[in-house]
Amino acid sequence: MRVLNKDEFKLEKEKLFEDIKEGAMFIYPTDTVYGIGCDATNFKAVKKIRETKERYIRPFSVIAPSKEWIRENCIVDKKAEQWIEKLPGPYTLILKLKDKDVIAPNVNSDMDTLGVRIPKHWFTQELKKLDIPIVTTSANIIGEAFMTSMDDLNRTIKEKVDFIIYEGELKAKPSQIIDLTKEEAEIIKR
């Protein structure tokens, strides 16, 4: 496992992007807390995150490569469009999928809905170049504190990830979850 800063990531990003396409599991900064992710179309990589986090059933969300990707792959009405316009930002929008095959079925436990987000962060801008959805879930074992610095990264997770992009302590809280699958938008309490 390697720890890279922003400059190191930018120097090695082509190789790291290849690693992601081949199933790498990695930790990255967002506009909220550190996330753990992988290619959301890679069943084996998603399974590895589930086992590492000990989160076997509850669905994961994805970082969408663009707003256009969300519109192409999710059902977007006027209410959802208003929230999509707030992206990038600290929101996870739960939408119904048009086509469940755009992600591995174990991302969302084969449900017909998906949490999507676009963090307001330089790393998300880099991920856009991959043009694939990336699993986004907090870098912690289920039930433990969220990772905001290397000091609170669980040892098991640290040993299993392929690389970490680290930029020091993050002082935010997880994204706000908005369920847009019902008639009225519902803010989900964490």
pLDDT tens-digit readout, 99-155: 999 999 999 998 999 999 999 999 999 999 999 999 999 999 988 999 999 999 999
Structure tokens at 35: 């996330």
Q: Which two tokens stand for residue 9?
A: 């990531």
Residues forming a β-bridge with 147: none
Helix (H, G, I), strand (E, B) or coil at 129: helix
pLDDT in tens, 162-177: 999 999 999 888 899 9
Q: What is the pLDDT of residue 172?
A: 85
| Backbone φ, ψ for residue 119 (5° rounding) | -65, 150
**Is it the case that residue 190 has pLDDT exceeding 80?**
no
Is 3.90.870.10 the CATH classification of the domain at 2-188?
yes
Output the pLDDT for position 22. 98
* Contact predicate 63/119, CB 8 Å: yes
Q: What's the token pair of residue 4?
A: 């890279």
Predicted confidence (pLDDT) at residue 1 exceeds the cutoff of 90: no
Where do runs of H (alpha helix) occur along 54-121?
67-73, 78-84
Q: What is the pLDDT of residue 189?
A: 78
Cβ atoms of 114 and 108 closer than 8 Å: yes
pLDDT band (50, 70, 90) for residue 52:
very high
Q: What percent of the chain has pLDDT over 90?
A: 92
Decide if 127 contacts 10 (C-beta within 8 A).
no
> Distance (Å, rounded) from C-alpha 42 to C-alpha 162?
15
